[in-house]
């Protein structure tokens, strides 16, 4: 078992293949953090933590000196840095002080009722539960730690229970608190906006508080619930990298506080802004799960751990391992302007090229001829689709293809039958005018009647047509976030209750239809987070389908999320978002670094391009396992001139390098790109028959003597020579 307790040292040791996480119970019953990093043997690290404390403390250890590296920091009892827990008690104050009561260690990992989380068998993961209590207020806090046997990953969460006879108000309850001592630390995070999601940024941490957060009701385009803390000398391949990711789709917060000697505290969890939760006696509150990964092999090692963990122990259902169908989506090909024959002709010609599924996007329902009407009216528009979805689906299946469908269940247009019948079903605040975004309001997902209506509508559609895929969209954030069903003192619960309602509906859908491939979407990649991957094993990465823009988007996404979850399509040129024209092969090579597909009107393609598509589809099948299940090595980060990456199979028998020339420069006669991740002692042959040792491919690299044109690519495929 990867977790043990030393009675001698009063210390807990959580061990993964290459890391150790250690903390102890001090004389006052406080949980004090000792160490997180490369593997250590069981030893006494208590004095190491004690040296970090400064200031007065009581002789019996019943108060915490400033600077003590707390395992789960509390507000108002002597620890003056950012705190993970703040409970306002019946006396009206928010002083919180939890002490150790008991613990248990066991094989396996419990699920979080009503929330997504990583999972594992008793052979794959061990769990530590520590019960703590505030003796004054009666608050009980159970801290959960789970350590994976095969990955350098540890998950954290907390459950707060009201053990008193009076109401309590949770004002902040984070999932994770982590202490990282002594370093010149930098923070890496993923920022952006619509069409520019998850842009990688690395910057020095200030002495003081640094915050990355969302307040928009979703994990958002602007910030992703992922950060990495790295040493200033950390690279892709070497150096300390601590990665943190929250399995949550709502308002989140990551705060770091660095004090003068370089000690760093990081907390991650639900954003306390506009959050509150009333706990009546006996009630409890469970935080979402936070995942931490430590790597001594730089950012690349950290990312590959996240990739394996999420691919194997977060994504669920048959599609986490089954080969997914290569699809074409009609959105950029037709937008709202389609009928049954136009869709069928796209499917027919795409099928002749080797495409395996047609996905019908927005516009098939209600009075939906633009984004101004019909959203929420989930019945088929038979003026467009004569005979309904069932007839169209059967015609497409008759081509030997599968059929998929777009939904946006969480939203409603003011101009819709649903809104006219149930205006009370929207999120709203009494006396405030509702604002629209994309001409739509947000439905109140905290309400069971709303969720029942949505499930019944989708269930009716799915029962009456053969549908193998759903694209679940979410095109605006939450404003006027109130519910007509919640009491005034519970209105601050609305953001979290909304997320729980979303999870409840998603879980109901995937339970009823376990074989359907569900792809998430949020106006592109606005809710690309691990919680959504628990329900949808692939996610529409961005509405920006431009291949050159996608270099940055997919690079940032790869910091935490596996290639198998990255939905990436070849679209038409000039690109609809940027106006840029790039070669068809470049668009395909970039899209191959994801769950591959097409987003265009194939009936308008030239015969030459159609022949090229056949070749691209053949490459998709040839490299599918390597790309979806292999290890990713980021060779050259996207910049003004170039970008490159490598996939290596788990057994290191095969590798694929892709290089993109973004901008050619005068007098560039040679471009050298180095493989990564090969076995240095194995022999590998490329597609031209050149045989070299893995060490040579990695050290000497691949030299391209020709001058490449802007926006062109090359690939090098290596196979082991036995």
How many Å apart are CA 387 and CA 364, to the nearest integer?
Answer: 12
For the stretch 260-286, pLDDT in tens is: 776 899 999 999 999 999 999 999 999
| Closest listed residue to residue 528, CA positions, set 115, 304, 219 | 219
How buried is 501 (Cβ within 10 angstroms: 0-12 exposed, 13-18 middle, 19+ buried)? buried
Active site residues: 473, 543
- DSSP letter at 525 equals B
pLDDT for 687: 95
d(CA 305, CA 486): 41
Q: Is the dihedral of CA 364, 369, 374, 380 positive or negative?
A: negative
Q: Which two tokens stand for residue 450?
A: 């709303």
Q: Identify the DSSP state of 605.
A: S
Q: What is the set of domains in the chain, with CATH numbers?
A: 3-313 (2.70.98.60), 318-413+448-476+498-628 (3.20.20.70), 636-720 (2.60.40.1180)
Token reading at 451:
């969720």
Angle, CA of 16, 173 and 61, to the nearest 5° = 75
What is the per-residue pLDDT for 305?
98
Sign of dihedral through CA atoms 568, 572, 576, 579? Answer: positive
State the sign of the Cα–Cα–Cα–Cα dihedral 55, 58, 59, 60. Answer: negative
Strand, coil or helix: 259? coil
Q: How far apart are the first and last CA of the chain?
A: 38
Detail the DSSP E strand segments found in 514-558.
517-520, 538-540
Tokens matching residue 654: 């095969």
Q: What is the pLDDT of residue 171?
A: 97
**436-439 LR contacts (CB < 8 Å, sep 24+):** 437/475, 437/476, 437/477, 437/479, 438/371, 438/475, 438/476, 438/523, 439/371, 439/372, 439/373, 439/413, 439/414, 439/415
Give the model's pLDDT for residue 220: 95
599-633 b/e with 16+ CB inside 10 Å = b?
bbbbeebeeeeeebbeebbebbeebbebbbbbbbb
- Contacts for 579-583: CB closer than 8 Å, 24+ residues apart: 580/546, 580/548, 580/549, 580/711, 582/546, 582/547, 582/548, 582/711, 583/711, 583/712, 583/713
Q: What is the dihedral of CA 507, 512, 515, 516, to 10 degrees?
A: -70
Alpha-carbon gap, residue 421 to 453, rounded angstroms:
12
Q: What residue has token string 């019945």?
A: 379
475, 442 contact by CB (below 8 A): no
Beta pairing partners, 142 = 131, 159
Question: Which pTM was predicted?
Answer: 0.97
pLDDT recorded at residue 53: 58
pLDDT < 70 regions, the chain: 48-66, 262, 667-670, 705-707
Cross-strand bridge partners of residue 203: 187
Sequential DSSP letters for 291-356? EEEEESBHHHHHHHHHHHHHHHHTS-SGGGTSPPPPEEE-HHHHTT---HHHHHHHHHHHHHHT--
Residue 407 has a CB neighbour count (10 Å cut-off) of: 21
Contacts of 526 (CB under 8 A, 6+ apart): 194, 197, 218, 219, 220, 221, 474, 477
Q: Name the strand (E) or helix (H) holding 547.
A: helix 547-557
Closest to 419 (Cα-Cα) out of 382, 458, 372, 455: 372
Specify the pLDDT at position 574. Answer: 97
Query: Counting beta carbons within 10 angstroms of the beta carbon of residue 158, is it exposed (0 to 12), middle (13 to 18) or buried (19 or more)?
Result: buried
């Amino acid at each position: 078992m990867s977790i043990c307790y030393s009675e001698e040292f009063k210390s807990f040791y959580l061990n993964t293949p290459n890391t150790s996480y250690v903390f102890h119970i001090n004389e006052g019953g406080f949980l004090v953090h000792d160490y997180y990093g490369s593997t250590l043997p069981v030893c006494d690290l208590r004095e190491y933590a004690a040296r970090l404390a400064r200031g007065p403390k009581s002789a019996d250890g019943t108060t915490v000196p400033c600077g003590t590296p707390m395992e789960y920091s509390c507000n108002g009892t002597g620890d003056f840095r950012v705190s993970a827990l703040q409970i306002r008690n019946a006396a009206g104050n928010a002083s919180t002080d939890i002490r150790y009561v008991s613990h248990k260690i066991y094989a396996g990992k419990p699920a979080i009722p009503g929330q997504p989380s990583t999972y594992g068998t008793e052979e794959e993961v061990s769990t530590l539960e520590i019960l703590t209590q505030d003796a004054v207020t009666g608050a009980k806090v159970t801290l959960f730690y789970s350590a994976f046997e095969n990955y350098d990953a540890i998950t954290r969460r907390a459950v707060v229970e009201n053990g008193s006879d009076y109401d309590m108000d949770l004002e902040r309850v984070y999932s994770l608190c982590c202490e990282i001592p002594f370093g010149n630390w930098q923070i890496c995070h993923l920022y952006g906006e619509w069409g520019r999601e998850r842009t990688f940024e690395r910057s020095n941490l200030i002495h003081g508080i640094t915050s990355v957060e969302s307040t928009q009701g979703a994990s958002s385009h602007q910030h992703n619930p992922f950060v990495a803390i790295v040493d200033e000398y950390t690279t892709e391949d070497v150096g300390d990298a601590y990665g943190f990711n929250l399995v949550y789709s709502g308002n989140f917060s990551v705060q770091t506080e660095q004090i003068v000697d370089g000690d760093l505290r990081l907390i991650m969890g639900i954003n306390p802004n506009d959050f509150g939760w009333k706990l009546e006696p006996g009630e409890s509150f469970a935080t979402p799960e936070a995942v931490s990964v430590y790597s001594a092999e730089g950012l690349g090692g950290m990312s590959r751990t996240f990739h394996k963990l999420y691919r194997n122990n977060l994504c669920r259902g048959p599609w986490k391992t089954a080969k997914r169908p290569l699809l074409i989506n009609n959105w950029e090909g037709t937008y709202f302007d389609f009928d049954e024959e136009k869709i069928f002709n796209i499917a027919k010609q795409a099928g002749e090229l080797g495409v395996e599924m047609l996905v019908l996007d927005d516009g098939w329902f209600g009075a939906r001829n633009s984004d101004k009407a019909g959203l929420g009216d989930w019945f088929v528009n038979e003026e467009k689709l004569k005979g309904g979805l069932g007839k169209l689906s059967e015609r497409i299946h008759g081509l030997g293809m599968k059929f998929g469908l777009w939904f946006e269940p969480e939203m409603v247009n003011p101009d819709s039958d649903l809104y006219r019948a149930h205006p009370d079903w929207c999120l709203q605040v009494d006396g405030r005018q509702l604002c629209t975004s994309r001409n739509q309001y947000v439905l109140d997902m905290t309400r069971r009647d709303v969720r029942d209506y949505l499930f019944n509508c989708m269930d009716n559609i799915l029962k009456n047509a053969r549908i193998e895929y759903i694209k679940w969209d979410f095109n605006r954030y939450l404003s006027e976030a109130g519910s007509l069903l919640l009491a005034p003192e519970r209105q601050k619960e609305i953001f979290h209750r909304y997320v729980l309602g979303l999870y409840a509906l998603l879980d109901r859908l995937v339970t009823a239809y376990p074989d359907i491939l569900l792809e998430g979407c949020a106006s592109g990649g606005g809710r690309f987070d691990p919680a959504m991957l628990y329900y949808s094993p692939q996610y529409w990465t961005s509405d920006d389908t431009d291949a050159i823009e996608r270099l940055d988007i997919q690079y940032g996404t790869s910091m935490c999320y596996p290639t198998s979850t990255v939905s990436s399509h070849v679209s038409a040129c000039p690109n609809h978002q940027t106006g840029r024209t790039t070669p068809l092969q470049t668009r395909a090579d970039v899209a191959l670094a994801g769950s591959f597909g097409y987003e265009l009107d194939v009936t308008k393609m030239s015969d030459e391009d159609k022949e090229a598509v056949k070749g691209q589809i053949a490459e998709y099948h040839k490299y599918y396992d390597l790309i979806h299940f292999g290890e990713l090595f980021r060779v050259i980060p996207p910049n003004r001139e170039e970008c490159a990456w490598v996939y290596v199979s788990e057994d290191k028998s095969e590798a694929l390098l892709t290089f993109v020339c973004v901008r050619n420069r005068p007098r560039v006669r040679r471009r050298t790109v180095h493989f990564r991740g090969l076995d240095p002692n194995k022999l590998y042959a490329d597609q031209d028959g050149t045989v070299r040792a893995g060490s040579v491919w990695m050290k000497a690299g691949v030299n391209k003597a020709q001058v490449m044109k802007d926006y062109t690519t090359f690939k090098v495929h290596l196979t082991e020579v036995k």
